[in-house]
Chains A and B, each alone.
Chain A
Amino acid sequence: AQSVAQPEDQVNVAEGNPLTVKCTYSVSGNPYLFWYVQYPNRGLQFLLKYITGDNLVKGSYGFEAEFNKSQTSFHLKKPSALVSDSALYFCAVRDLGGYQKVTFGTGTKLQVIP
């Protein structure tokens, strides 16, 4: 079975400071990892994905994520947070070798303080 853990329900960061939203995963095979963002009353927007290759993945809106196989982590990062980044962030995983089912984490609410 595959699973995703987002240990923080909420992350608060001051505008202009770097932000990190944590994610760890578990799959039996090779992971296919995603980050999505959900703004209030909106659907999910794709931010970035990791399949293979460079461990640092760059995505939309200046976000990036670092894949760490030994720690089974895929933390989302941004060098300088904006107030407009305040939203709900979901990490997700599927097993590359398995059925096309994507499992989502519980979500982390990011609050950027002006």
Chain B
Amino acid sequence: SAVISQKPSRDICQRGTSLTIQCQVDSQVTMMFWYRQQPGQSLTLIATANQGSEATYESGFVIDKFPISRPNLTFSTLTVSNMSPEDSSIYLCSVVYQEFFDGYTFGSGTRLTVV
């Protein structure tokens, strides 16, 4: 299965600032996904990042708040913009490599606290 490196692993940020999270994969993958896991909650899909095209956002998430880049088949970034305490969550990237063999692989997550 693919191996994902996600950075940073955690951060404490001031209200109103932005944080960019990086996701690096050791294999070329077509689709990368960004999830949010709020405290004590399940995972919610933010968007799907396709190389060479605009990300596809789920209902309730907008590009201005969560801009995503996908410059190549092994890398993506998610920016959490103009942060508020409600953005405090774990953010995870996920990829599918050999979908019907490996399932979906997740990064270790970025634990964000906004103060």
Contact = CB atoms under 8 A, between A and B. Distances in A.
Interface of A: 34, 36, 41-46, 49, 51, 90, 92, 100-107
B37 to A, nearest CB: 9
A105 B1 CA distance: 23
A101 B104 contact: no
Given A44-B92, A104-B43, 18 more contacts: A34-B104, A43-B107, A43-B109, A46-B1, A46-B102, A46-B103, A46-B105, A46-B106, A49-B103, A51-B100, A100-B31, A100-B99, A101-B58, A102-B45, A102-B94, A102-B104, A104-B44, A107-B42
Interface in B85-115: 92, 94, 96, 99-100, 102-109, 111
B42 A34 contact: no
Nearest to A106: B42
B41 A106 contact: yes
Contacts of B76: none
A6 to B, nearest CB: 9
Given A100-B48, A100-B96, A101-B48, A46 B104 contact: yes
Kindly list the 6 A-B residue pairs having the minimum CB-CB distance in the complex, ordered from nearest. Answer: A43-B108, A44-B106, A104-B43, A106-B42, A49-B103, A43-B106
A43 B42 contact: no
A74 to B, nearest CB: 14
6 contacts: A43-B106, A44-B43, A51-B100, A102-B94, A104-B43, A106-B41
Contacts of A103: 45
A105 B104 contact: no
